[in-house]
Amino acid sequence: MHKSLSRRERVKLANREAILSAAEEIFAEKGFYAATVDEIAERAEFSKGALYTYFKNKEDIFLSIMREKVGSLGKKIKESIKVGLNPIESIENLIKAHLEFFEKNKEFFQIMTSEKGRFEMGIKNKLRKELVRRFQSYLEEVEGVMEAAVDNKDLKSIGPNHLAIALIGMVHSFTAQWILTGGESSLMELSPVIASLFFEGAKG
Amino acid sequence: MHKSLSRRERVKLANREAILSAAEEIFAEKGFYAATVDEIAERAEFSKGALYTYFKNKEDIFLSIMREKVGSLGKKIKESIKVGLNPIESIENLIKAHLEFFEKNKEFFQIMTSEKGRFEMGIKNKLRKELVRRFQSYLEEVEGVMEAAVDNKDLKSIGPNHLAIALIGMVHSFTAQWILTGGESSLMELSPVIASLFFEGAKG
Amino acid sequence: MHKSLSRRERVKLANREAILSAAEEIFAEKGFYAATVDEIAERAEFSKGALYTYFKNKEDIFLSIMREKVGSLGKKIKESIKVGLNPIESIENLIKAHLEFFEKNKEFFQIMTSEKGRFEMGIKNKLRKELVRRFQSYLEEVEGVMEAAVDNKDLKSIGPNHLAIALIGMVHSFTAQWILTGGESSLMELSPVIASLFFEGAKG
Amino acid sequence: MHKSLSRRERVKLANREAILSAAEEIFAEKGFYAATVDEIAERAEFSKGALYTYFKNKEDIFLSIMREKVGSLGKKIKESIKVGLNPIESIENLIKAHLEFFEKNKEFFQIMTSEKGRFEMGIKNKLRKELVRRFQSYLEEVEGVMEAAVDNKDLKSIGPNHLAIALIGMVHSFTAQWILTGGESSLMELSPVIASLFFEGAKG
DNA sequence: CATGAATGAGGATTCATTCAT
DNA sequence: GATGAATGAATCCTCATTCAT
């Protein structure tokens, strides 16, 4: 990878990543507003000014993180779905992919759940629009499998939209709880519990 | 209620409520940081100074809203549980109570989901501690019904904690989606869908 | 004057004037960019923040000064012209009015001559547009007298535009020199010299 | 000229000129403060760092332009005066030389008129001092012709200082107006108008 | 008590200048 | 020498909080 990049270009790319990584932590801890550019710069071990050679402004840093992560989540989800032999297996893979992604991206999960509502408001901004589009496409992906499963009589004929909301709600809820209790144990271990509850329900 | 309050005291109480109500809107729209005291004062049709006779500072306004709402939600939940003849019915009531509450308190739901993570950090503050305690007691309440249902063999013997997380996750997810799509139709109508998915699962 | 203003309103107006007066000095000394809001605040004996209750931003302070002064200069010029019994006398009055105004408004003269070119560029701004309009109307006023004088055969039939440029150039040049040499003696005393040179020329 | 310069030295000199020329444009457009080193470097098609091998700092670039131009203007003026057969002709030549110079150096004229007042303040700097000295010598040159003309009874016995101020004021005013209206037509054509107004005055 | 002007700490951003490559 | 990334001082502006009237 990066075969064709000059050393200088590779350094720039690495620095960019370092800044984004530091910013992700701070944004997760404090949210967009309370996070300060100074603090991000300090955590990234760069001067304040350096951030502005890599990003247009604070919002650009934020949206760059979100764009990358949302895109990456979407890709993982898509891949997980394709791998399944049948809709049920696809959904099981979907759950696993979600948990795996959030386990590696705790900070992003926190940012996403707390700032999502915010960046959908007052969308004048190209980047913001693109971001919202990516989110939607991710949801549609999940709805897609649900629809396939319903068509295949694997799932009850409930609106795929509702099925998607229910599953994602459970996944997010378990993830949030896992983070709240320290995020130490393995989140992926919960995959069977979630699958079982989603498919079979809780009734004894 | 308020039997023993003088007229002056009643006015003060009403003003307090008016301020909190205005603040709730602003906080829901913009989040804690982006909301300005000026804007809250204007929306509440009070002078900025007046807010400071009713509340110690901006955080105090915020936590007052949260305390009241979290307390109120907890109370509703407790009541809903008690009314049920058996654990299953209690859980059905629990779902309805949730949806009813969020339908009336959209703004609070938005604030809660976006700021919850934040005010759990750096809890030096009495009010914050109390708030977190209230949240926990609300969760424990839900876990309580789940435990009863498991004991009663109404639900599979899954950890009550997991059952609570799953149900709350679904409820929050449906609520969030409802708000995102405008919050016009009735949220409570979704109660049977959620109950069915929770009890019976999605499998056809 | 200000009969109908409450005390508070009068104080506000006085404060506004104090800020503008301090700003005028600083802008004259350093120009728009080098002048800092901090310095203006300090000179005005207000806090930095206070300036922002009176003015939208630094540019607003600057344009407020210019607007008032340009308007005031224009008014003086118009009045001076009207008072003359004939075009020649009107022009003499015009010269006197100019010198009198600049003598009292050294700082404005300096700002005007150094920033004029600047605020004509990139006029996106209502205030800037209005300002340029006022400047033009002042020039047209001077051209107006010249035209009358030419029509009346008091002046050679040179384009009134050229006559206006020549006279204003001389007036500005004498003013600039007067300021450069300390601005102590009376500028108005130069009125006959300028009038003589303008009307009779330098040739012996 | 530059006979004894090596190729390397000639390149350096050419680069220096290219930078100064680019800087002159930017300074004329925006003034000293609003002009950025980045922009100058870009316009000159050099790296930012390169500018600092040719000039000590931003002020050095600015003062280098001014020094060269002021010196050049002074030289032209001196030459124009010498060529005249008598004082009157010398003054006519002086006017022509001025207009010719400003026609070729619009940018410098703009910089000069807007920044002149500024760099006379707080002169701690050798370069600045030298610059002010050059300006003064240019004025003295003009005063010199005026004195000669007065002595020769070609002009009224008005102080040569006043005569110089009046003439220069007119020249600058016409130049400023010419630039304001686009600077397309020939500025030099105005030479007879200015001479006539200066010598004979405006009276009909 | 209510008001809203004043305060000033805090934060985002710019840009001249330096310096490692 | 040339480059342009990095620096950080400087600056504008915001806004929670205070306090004189």
- Can you give the pLDDT of all 204 residues of chain A as single tens digits? 445 667 788 889 999 999 999 999 999 988 899 999 999 999 999 999 999 999 999 999 999 999 999 999 999 999 999 988 899 999 999 999 999 999 999 999 999 988 877 766 666 677 778 888 888 888 899 999 999 999 999 999 999 999 999 999 999 999 999 998 888 899 999 999 999 999 999 987
- The DSSP result for C30-91, as a single string, is HHHHHS-HHHHHHHHTS-HHHHHHH-SSHHHHHHHHHHHHHHHHHHHHHHHHHH-SSHHHHH
Residue D146's closest chain C neighbor by CA? C202
Are C68 and C166 found together in one domain?
yes
The pLDDT tens digits for C17-34 are 999 999 999 999 888 999
Supply the pLDDT for residue B75. 93
- Give the nucleotide with minimal C1' distance to the Cα of C46: E6
The pLDDT tens digits for B71-89 are 999 999 999 999 888 999 9
Split at pLDDT 50, 70, 90, the class of C3 is: low
Phi, psi of A203 (to 5 degrees): -65, 140
Supply the pLDDT for residue D177. 92
Chain B touched by A197 (CB under 8 Å):
yes
Cα(B110)–Cα(B113) distance, rounded to whole angstroms?
A: 5
Residue nearest to nucleotide E9 (CA to C1'): C49
Computed over every residue of chain C, the mean pLDDT equals 91
Split at pLDDT 50, 70, 90, the class of D52 is: very high
Are C138 and C41 found together in one domain?
no
Supply the pLDDT for residue C1. 47
Question: Can you list the positions of beta strands (E) in A14-66?
Answer: none
Average pLDDT over residues B44-69: 94
Residue B151's closest chain A neighbor by CA? A204
- Cβ–Cβ under 8 Å, residues A171 and A101: no
Any idea what the CATH number is for the domain that residue B81 is in?
1.10.357.10
Cα(D109)–Cα(D27) distance, rounded to whole angstroms?
A: 11
How close C98 gets to chain D, by Cα (Å)? 15
Cα(A130)–Cα(A109) distance, rounded to whole angstroms?
A: 19
Average pLDDT over residues B80-108: 94
Residues of B in contact with A172 (CB under 8 A): 169, 172-173
Q: How far is the CA of A197 from the C1' of E13 (A)?
A: 51
Full domain range(s) for residue D51: 1-55
Chain C touched by D106 (CB under 8 Å):
no
Query: In one letter, which amino acid is B42?
Result: E
Interchain contact, A202 vs B198, CB within 8 Å: yes
Residue nearest to nucleotide E10 (CA to C1'): A36
Supply the pLDDT for residue C2. 46
Supply the pLDDT for residue C123. 63
Supply the pLDDT for residue B120. 64
Average pLDDT over residues B169-191: 93
Are D28 and D67 found together in one domain?
no
Interchain contact, B197 vs A120, CB within 8 Å: no
Neighbours of B72 (CB within 10 A): 14
Residues of D in contact with C196 (CB under 8 A): 158
Average pLDDT over residues B54-72: 93
Chains near A, with 3+ CB pairs < 8 A?
B
Chain B touched by A99 (CB under 8 Å):
no
- B125/D34: higher pLDDT: D34
Interchain contact, B204 vs A153, CB within 8 Å: yes
Q: How far is the CA of C11 from the C1' of F20 (A)?
A: 14
Supply the pLDDT for residue B129. 80
Question: Which of B56, B50, B60 is closest to B27 using CA atoms?
Answer: B60
Are C112 and C69 found together in one domain?
yes
- Cβ–Cβ under 8 Å, residues A161 and A143: yes
Domain count, chain C: 2
For chain B, positions 165-194, list CB contacts with chain A under 8 A: 165-174, 177, 180, 190, 193-194
Residues of D in contact with C183 (CB under 8 A): none
Q: Which of residues 55-114 of A touch strand F (CB under 7 A)?
A: none
Computed over every residue of chain D, the mean pLDDT equals 91
Of C81-85, C142-146, D148-152, least confident by mean pLDDT is C81-85
Winning range, highest mean pLDDT, from C31-35, C183-187, D90-94: D90-94
Are A65 and A29 found together in one domain?
no
How many residues does this entry show for chain A? 204
Interchain contact, C170 vs D174, CB within 8 Å: no
CA separation, residue B4 to residues B8, B12, B19, D46 (Å): 11, 14, 23, 81
D173 strand E contact, CB < 7 Å: no
- Cβ–Cβ under 8 Å, residues A145 and A90: yes
Residue D33's closest chain C neighbor by CA? C33
Cα(B198)–Cα(B91) distance, rounded to whole angstroms?
A: 10
Split at pLDDT 50, 70, 90, the class of B9 is: confident
Cα(C150)–Cα(B18) distance, rounded to whole angstroms?
A: 72
Interchain contact, B201 vs A200, CB within 8 Å: yes
Average pLDDT over residues D40-68: 94
- Cβ–Cβ under 8 Å, residues C203 and D199: yes
- Cβ–Cβ under 8 Å, residues A172 and B175: no
The residues, ordered by sequence, that sit 6+ positions from D5 with a Cβ below 8 Å of its Cβ are D13
Nearest to D173 among C29, C120, C166 (CB): C166
The pLDDT tens digits for B108-150 are 999 998 887 776 666 667 777 888 888 888 889 999 999 999 9
Cα(C50)–Cα(C28) distance, rounded to whole angstroms?
A: 22
A–B touching, 3+ CB–CB pairs within 8 Å: yes
Interchain contact, D30 vs C118, CB within 8 Å: yes
B52 strand E contact, CB < 7 Å: yes
Cα(A152)–Cα(A145) distance, rounded to whole angstroms?
A: 10
Are D51 and D80 found together in one domain?
no
Question: Which of D161, D164, D166 is closest to D202 using CA atoms?
Answer: D166
Cα C93 versus chain centre, distance: 16
> Has residue C53 got a pLDDT over 70?
yes
Are D103 and D177 found together in one domain?
yes
Winning range, highest mean pLDDT, from B85-89, C99-103, D66-70: C99-103
Q: Which of residues 41-60 of A touch strand E (CB under 7 A)?
A: 48-49, 52, 57-59
How close A10 gets to chain B, by Cα (Å)? 36
Residue D157's closest chain C neighbor by CA? C204
B49 strand F contact, CB < 7 Å: yes
**Percent of chain C residues past pLDDT 70, beyond the cut:** 95
Are B86 and B126 found together in one domain?
yes
Residue nearest to nucleotide E15 (CA to C1'): D36
Are B6 and B51 found together in one domain?
yes
How close B4 gets to chain A, by Cα (Å)? 42
Chain C touched by D123 (CB under 8 Å):
no
> Has residue B97 got a pLDDT over 50?
yes
A36 strand F contact, CB < 7 Å: no
- Cβ–Cβ under 8 Å, residues D78 and D84: no
- Cβ–Cβ under 8 Å, residues C187 and C179: no
Residue B190's closest chain A neighbor by CA? A162
Are D135 and D114 found together in one domain?
yes
Any idea what the CATH number is for the domain that residue B8 is in?
1.10.10.60
- E strand or H helix at C13, and its extent? helix C7-34
D52 strand F contact, CB < 7 Å: yes
> Has residue D181 got a pLDDT over 90?
no
The residues, ordered by sequence, that sit 6+ positions from A196 with a Cβ below 8 Å of its Cβ are B158
CA separation, residue A167 to residues A98, A188, B4, B95, C23 (Å): 11, 15, 50, 17, 63
The pLDDT tens digits for C55-96 are 999 999 999 999 999 999 999 999 999 998 899 999 999 999
Cα(C98)–Cα(C56) distance, rounded to whole angstroms?
A: 31
Residue of D162, D163, D194, D196 best to disrupt the C interface, most CBs of C under 10 A:
D162
Residue D57's region, left for phi above 0, alpha for psi from -120 to 50, else beta, is beta
Supply the pLDDT for residue D120. 65
For chain A, positions 35-54, list CB contacts with chain B under 8 A: none
Nearest to D204 among C30, C153, C190 (CB): C153
Are A87 and A49 found together in one domain?
no
Residues paired with B155 in a beta bridge: A203
Residue C131's region, left for phi above 0, alpha for psi from -120 to 50, else beta, is alpha
Residues of D in contact with C115 (CB under 8 A): 114
Cα(A90)–Cα(A109) distance, rounded to whole angstroms?
A: 22
- Give the nucleotide with minimal C1' distance to the Cα of C11: E5
Are A92 and A181 found together in one domain?
yes
Q: Identify the domain boundary among B30, B55, B80.
A: B55
Cα(D71)–Cα(D74) distance, rounded to whole angstroms?
A: 5
Residue nearest to nucleotide F7 (CA to C1'): A47
Interchain contact, B173 vs A170, CB within 8 Å: yes
Average pLDDT over residues B98-102: 97
Split at pLDDT 50, 70, 90, the class of C121 is: low
- Give the nucleotide with minimal C1' distance to the Cα of D35: E15
Interchain contact, C155 vs D202, CB within 8 Å: yes
Cα(A158)–Cα(A151) distance, rounded to whole angstroms?
A: 11
Supply the pLDDT for residue A58. 95
Nearest to B121 among A29, A165, A197 (CB): A29
Largest Cα–Cα separation, chain B: 62
Protein-covered nucleotides on strand F (Cβ within 7 A): 1-21
D–C touching, 3+ CB–CB pairs within 8 Å: yes
> Has residue D196 got a pLDDT over 90?
yes
- Cβ–Cβ under 8 Å, residues C28 and C46: no
